[in-house]
Amino acid sequence: MENNQDFNSVQQSGGENKTWFFEFDATTKAYTRAVYAATQPENTTSIDPNGVMNPVWNQSDNKWDGQSIDDYLAEQKKNAQQNVDPQQQQLANLLQMIVQLKADSVMNKAQIASLTAQLAKQSNVAQQDSQSASQSTSQSTSQTTTAVTGGVANV
């Protein structure tokens, strides 16, 4: 990282100058801890690894290598979105299906009520037409019988 800075913050403590040094593992070069000392211990640097996640000392470039905190947080956020529990995802899908089925059910009930009302109107009209036709057929037959017999009743 280029944002590494020299952290030689020298402080006076009892006449002795002490400085913060940042220790790294001798083999892996991974940061291990900060050391406040008057002299620089082995496997340390005065360059602060601040702002670097999982810093590793790069001796040839004299800096800490690693991922910036912003990049690290962005990666964590991305991974968190991708790592959805399969059971939770399945439950969410089922809940979404239930909500859709309820909405469909309400719509179907409304359509059924509308169609039932239309059918009832059509049945009433047909029944009235049937009654009218039946009455006119009955009157027509009665008139025909009277005309044929000449109004005389059979005795």
pTM of this prediction exceeds 0.85:
no
pLDDT band at 126 (very low <50, low <70, confident <90, very high): confident
pLDDT number for residue 100: 92
- Calculate the alpha carbon distances from 96 to 81, 89, 90, 103 in Å: 19, 11, 10, 11
CA distance 37 to 137: 122
Summarize pLDDT for 79-115 with one digit per residue, the tens: 877 677 889 889 989 999 999 999 899 899 989 999 9
CA distance 2 to 47: 11
